[in-house]
Structure 1
Amino acid sequence: MATHGTLIDGLNTRLDDLEALYQDLHQHPELSFQEKRTASLLAERLAAAGCEVTTGVGKTGVVGVLRNGVGPGVLLRADMDALPVKEIDRVTYRSRATGTDPDGVVTPVMHACGHDTHMAALIGAVEQLAAHRDAWSGSVLAVCQPAEELGAGARAMLDDGFLDRFPPFDVALGQHISSAPSTHLYARPGVFMAAADSLRVTVYGRGGHGAVPQATIDPVVIASSIVLRLQTIVSREVAPTDVAVVTVASFHAGSKENVIPAEAELKVNVRTFKPEVRTQVMDAITRIVRAEAAAAGAEREPVIAPINDFPLCVNDVAATRTVMAAFTEAFGEGHVHETEPKAGSEDFGCFGEAAGVPSVFWNFGGFDPALYPDDPTRAHLAVVSGQAPSNHSPQFVPTGLRPTLRRAVEAMLTASAVWLAPASR
């Protein structure tokens, strides 16, 4: 086991540079699988730290290998992509970037999920490890992953021969900023984040004039009935002891008030924590969509097509308890919390699962503790009440940037030290 304290030595002198890197990344966000500038910048930083750098892994991914003698391998991962969100004007370095989404729509782009903090923290951790080669031995794989927001980036890198092209690793470590007090860390053994499925539902009717609705089959009415009926899956079909979420967040149909369209489109998102519940919910969606269309006399069966999917994010029990113990020793019991499973989703676990090694994923807070007057283990209450922003919000910009970056780097180094060997003598 390497020495945690030594790896952190000198970090404070690096924070100005990491803040500048973060602000650069924040001002220049890029959508999934479009992270070309981001990848180039990170590749330069990894190379300058002494890594062997490979670009274009899984389209736009970057892998930096920092070798330091014989010893265990540790994978450290940060995601690179941003979201189609317009940032509100709160900071001088706000994003004004735009991009083209998968549907061909030009949209504002923002790091509304904090991936910019993940990247800056990863670079800081690698630079610290490079500066303290005399404190550890082994190899570090710094993975800059594309397209996490699509649930596709980790699989793309693995499909591009990741396991064969790069050194083996004994553990996969990753982290994500959350709406919680800065300097606080959150993790749990076992299921940490939900599985997620996104679907595109297209309902077909018969279009016509709004003055003669009897001559049409109105897909807006069919789709509206589907939206309402889908809400009964969780309330009437899923057991109260299980958890699921079914959300319809996109509904598009027609273009004029007196023209009944020929079709309507819904986008549906599902969150589940058990494979059997996922199957139950997905089957129910299919049944309801088809039945509502049939009940309305639709002449063509609706189409249900997948958009993306995320696996369950499951933390190895023993490895997570070890990491949490190291966090507690380093930062104090009051700053390390065992949290409940999160309804958000992640594809980070694909790396550990594919390699057959433990995965540990945790959250770090990124906001002024004053926003969370209650117990830090109940930070979600501040989000629900509107006191603090949530991930994917146009307001999601850390308000405690320096302590947030410092703790994120410290956490990654502390977790790495659990596996890396002491320096060879």
Structure 2
Amino acid sequence: MREAAVVARLTREITPGFGPGEPPGSLADFYQDLHRHPELSFEEHRTAAKLAGRLRAAGFDVTDGVARTGVVGVLRNGEGPVVWLRGDMDALPVTEATGLPYASRTDGVMHACGHDLHVTWLAAAAEALAAARETWSGTLVVVGQPAEEAGGGAAAMVADGIHDRFPRPDALFGQHAAPGLVGFYPHTPGLTLSASDDVDVVVHGVGGHGSRPESTVDPVVTAAYVVTRLQSVVAREVAANEAVVVTVGRFHAGTTSNIIPAEARLGVNVRTRDARVRTRVLDAVRRVVEGECAAAGCPRPPDVTVRPGCPTTVNDAQLDREIAAVHGELFGAGTVFDFGQALGSEDFSLLAPQGVPYDYWYVTSTPAPVWETAPGEELMEKAAAVPGNHSPLFAPDLSVLGPGVRTLVSAALSRLAG
């Protein structure tokens, strides 16, 4: 690894105008265009084409259609390490309420998690590194990943042979926009994000007329008991020093008020940090669902389908400390701190072949006026009060466009040969 101070100086030299503050006009235009035209998971055709076009223009060998809508660009520049930079591309089924002049033009779809920022950072970092080939040696691989939000995007790229079709990485880097006053770059060595699993439940009842409930087995009431009982799993079956969340985010049943339906459907999300706790909680969810259905006298057992989602994200501790040092040199003392372990989840780690170190950090993006007027005194109080990821009001400050490019460029330069 190059010394942190050397990497920081070199990064500034090859990214003039990309410091904190007003971003270059072309960068803002690209970002705002992506924000206006969000696309859902595995539908990122326009976004992928925009990224691929910029990579080709910069001299990358580009492969389209990896895992349907993924993009991989390869730039070979002599002998040396192979570095992968990853950015996810998909938006969310959220109706935007920011009122921005460049707000989404697609009904019910919004870049509410900052993936438009991620693509912008990725494209500009690739261009900057391509234009400064004389400063490094090795191979740079840029990965535009589909479907992080829906889950399965990284796994689909692996299934499509990304580890075999492209140069194997010596290090993998990624980053994410996060709520927090602009100007900070949180890092966490080791475990930083939790595992996430979805459980689909179908409760089978006996439908009938709303005036004769005694002739039915009401799946709505049974499913309501399931929802309530699931709240006891964390409180009574998990040790207090373990961080676990069980959320019922979907409850669908019936068509009108005077008909008792024949079934009810639930969508349950489970987030855990420990493999044994993960197994125990998923087993408990199944047991609760089956027990409530048996108690209600349902005509047949429920359908319980576990859909494994994202694994834990565990940064290589040494790599994270080294990149954190680079970012500290680049942006100044106090701008880098340990974010701690979060219950959010990501499929980023699946892109790293077994044994390959990776590092994943954050770029805070809340505009200063929004942060300053948010209630609370402590950092976490304010962070909880400002619009965060997945909010219809999520609106990153444009001043983070340039620094987010520099974080990726500096991470790559720290590994690529001098």
Normalising by structure 2, report the TM-score: 0.94
Distance 2:357 2:32 in 1: 33
SS of equivalent residue, structure 2 residue 391: coil
Q: Give the aligned partner of residue 364 of structure 1.
A: 363
Distance 2:268 2:72 in 1: 34
In the alignment, structure 1 residue 394 sits paired with structure 2 residue 392: yes
SS of equivalent residue, structure 1 residue 86: coil
Instruction: Map 1:24-423 onto structure 2 (within 5 A).
Output: 24-98=33-107, 108-307=108-307, 309-352=309-352, 354-373=353-372, 379-384=379-384, 386=385, 388-398=386-396, 400-401=397-398, 403-422=399-418
Contact 1:8 1:413 survives alignment (8 Å)? no
How far did residue 189 of structure 1 move? 0.8
Contact 1:181 1:369 survives alignment (8 Å)? yes
Counterpart of 2:232, as a letter, is T
How far did residue 136 of structure 1 move? 0.9
SS of equivalent residue, structure 2 residue 201: strand
Distance 2:334 2:375 in 1: 10
Q: Deviations over 1:103-147 (max 9, x none)?
A: xxxxx1111010000000011111110111111111110000001
Counterpart of 2:59, as a letter, is G
From the superposition, tell whether residues 328 and 167 of structure 1 become closer, same or farther in structure 2 (CA, over 3 Å).
Answer: same
Contact 1:73 1:141 survives alignment (8 Å)? yes
How far did residue 375 of structure 1 move? 13
Counterpart of 2:298, as a letter, is A
From the superposition, tell whether residues 79 and 232 of structure 1 become closer, same or farther in structure 2 (CA, over 3 Å).
Answer: same
Distance 2:243 2:11 in 1: 41
Q: Deviations over 1:380-422 (max 9, x none)?
A: 32243x3x10100001111x21x21111111111111210111
Counterpart of 2:219, as a letter, is P
Contact 2:7 2:326 survives alignment (8 Å)? no
SS of equivalent residue, structure 2 residue 125: helix
SS of equivalent residue, structure 2 residue 245: strand
SS of equivalent residue, structure 2 residue 17: helix
SS of equivalent residue, structure 2 residue 186: strand
Counterpart of 2:17, as a letter, is N
Distance 2:295 2:124 in 1: 59
From the superposition, tell whether residues 376 and 68 of structure 1 become closer, same or farther in structure 2 (CA, over 3 Å).
Answer: farther
From the superposition, tell whether residues 376 and 21 of structure 1 become closer, same or farther in structure 2 (CA, over 3 Å).
Answer: farther
From the superposition, tell whether residues 321 and 375 of structure 1 become closer, same or farther in structure 2 (CA, over 3 Å).
Answer: farther
Q: Deviations over 1:229-254 (max 9, x none)?
A: 00000111100011100001111111
RMSD: 1.8
Distance 2:370 2:378 in 1: 12
SS of equivalent residue, structure 1 residue 288: helix
Q: Give the aligned partner of residue 12 of structure 1.
A: 17
Contact 1:8 1:128 survives alignment (8 Å)? no
From the superposition, tell whether residues 175 and 375 of structure 1 become closer, same or farther in structure 2 (CA, over 3 Å).
Answer: farther
Q: Give the aligned partner of residue 101 of structure 1.
A: none
From the superposition, tell whether residues 375 and 191 of structure 1 become closer, same or farther in structure 2 (CA, over 3 Å).
Answer: farther
How far did residue 11 of structure 1 move? 3.4
SS of equivalent residue, structure 1 residue 124: helix
How far did residue 308 of structure 1 move? 5.1
Normalising by structure 1, report the TM-score: 0.93
Distance 1:269 1:315 in 2: 24
